[in-house]
Amino acid sequence: MIEIRGLQKSFGSHHVLKGIDASISQGEVVCIVGPSGSGKSTILRCINGLESYSGGSVDIDGRRVDNRHASIKAIRAEVAMVFQRFNLFPHRTVLENVIEGPVYVKGEDRAAAIVHAKELLASVGLADKAGAHPPELSGGQQQRVAIARALAMRPKAILFDEPTSALDPELVGDVLQVMRKLAGTGMTMVVVTHEMQFAREVADRVIFIDGGVIVEQGPAAELLNNPQSPRTQDFLRRVLHPL
């Protein structure tokens, strides 16, 4: 469903991605892990065209992702994104945030969009917050609204860019719980994360990236329990046993 071929990206003279090949099929949950600055988030941002890439290609269901082309809007409407810092619209209520895309991008009927949005808010445990404004919510609640907002577009896939990195530790669990439930429904998910426990339990596949290349990838349990590359071993040791 998502085909990445020889993906390269440079910021000025800084070569962030040096040829990434990955294929993500429908219903798959893929976690991308690796040290800070390794290019994990850049991959996600190339998938929905928030970044342009300097070489290689990204295709979604056979359509080329090119953010200079008008087709990018249709692709983005099908591939939702959840951000590290939530990026909810602070001037609109929770409910308005969730119906914004369906009503104004896809032109859905407002009343139907509201019904759907309320179901989604209930499914992330925030039915009672529909009328609140985002700044009144905790980080964990905001991120769950952001997930509901992503789902409201009825996307084919959702990209998660370090969804729990900006949260207080006690709020991480609620968000991961929602994501786990989502994975159970067969949603295609690409998750950049530092939550190894989540990756181990929920991901079908884990991709380890360092220095702009894929160092190692494989089934979650296999890669996390029995990493082959010394770089992966070193990274996992630091993350899992920081002391």
Partner 1 sequence: MSTFLHNVWEFLPILLQGAKLTVLVTLGSLVISTLLGLVWAAMRVSGIPLLAKISAGVINLLRGIPIIVLLFFIYFVMPDFGLSLTALQAGILGLGIAYSAYQSENFRAGIEAVDHGQVEAAQAMGMSWRLTMRRVVLPQAFRITLPSYGNIMIMMLKDSSQASTITVAELALQGKLIATSTFQNATVFSLVALLYLIMCVPLILLVRHFEKRGRK
Q: Which residues lie near partner 1 (CB under 8 A)?
A: 48, 50, 73-77, 80-81, 83, 85, 87-91, 100-101, 104-106, 149, 153
d(CA 198, CA 138): 21
d(CA 143, CA 183): 16
Q: How far is the CB of 180 from partner 1 (least distance, A)?
A: 23
Q: How far is the CB of 74 from partner 1 (least distance, A)?
A: 7
Q: Which is nearer to partner 1, 9 or 149 (CB)?
A: 149
Q: H/E element holding 222?
A: helix 220-225
Query: Which of 152, 82, 155 has the alpha carbon at shortest distance from 119?
Result: 152
Query: Which of 38, 7, 33 has the alpha carbon at shortest distance from 207?
Result: 33
Q: Which is nearer to partner 1, 38 or 97 (CB)?
A: 97
Q: How far is the CB of 85 from partner 1 (least distance, A)?
A: 6
Residues 6+ apart with CB under 8 A from 86: 134, 139, 142, 143, 145, 146, 166
Q: How far is the CB of 238 from partner 1 (least distance, A)?
A: 29
Q: How far is the CB of 30 from partner 1 (least distance, A)?
A: 18
Q: Which is nearer to partner 1, 8 or 67 (CB)?
A: 67
Q: How far is the CB of 113 from partner 1 (least distance, A)?
A: 13
Q: Which long-range contacts (CB under 8 A, 24 or more apart) does 13-17 make?
A: 15/212, 16/42, 16/212, 17/42, 17/43, 17/46, 17/53, 17/212
Q: Which is nearer to partner 1, 55 or 104 (CB)?
A: 104
Q: Which is nearer to partner 1, 1 or 77 (CB)?
A: 77
Q: Which is nearer to partner 1, 146 or 207 (CB)?
A: 146
The Cβ of residue 97 has, within 10 Å, a number of other Cβ atoms equal to 26
d(CA 96, CA 149): 9
SS3 237: helix
